[in-house]
Amino acid sequence: MKKEIQIQEKSLQKKKQRISKRITKLKDIIAKVEDRFFEGLIDSETFKNSKIRYAKKIKVFENEILRLKNFNPVFEFQSRM
pLDDT tens string 30-57: 999 999 999 999 999 999 999 999 999 9
User: 0.85 exceeded by the pTM?
Assistant: no
* More confident of the two residues 8 and 35: 35
Range of the domain at 29: 20-80
* CB 65, CB 16: distance < 8 Å: yes
Q: Where does residue 40 fall: left (phi above 0), alpha (psi -120 to 50 degrees), or beta otherwise?
A: left
Residue 1 domain-assigned (yes or no): no
Residue 4 domain-assigned (yes or no): no
Residue 12 domain-assigned (yes or no): no
Residue 50 domain-assigned (yes or no): yes
* CB 27, CB 58: distance < 8 Å: yes
Q: What pLDDT sits at residue 8?
A: 81
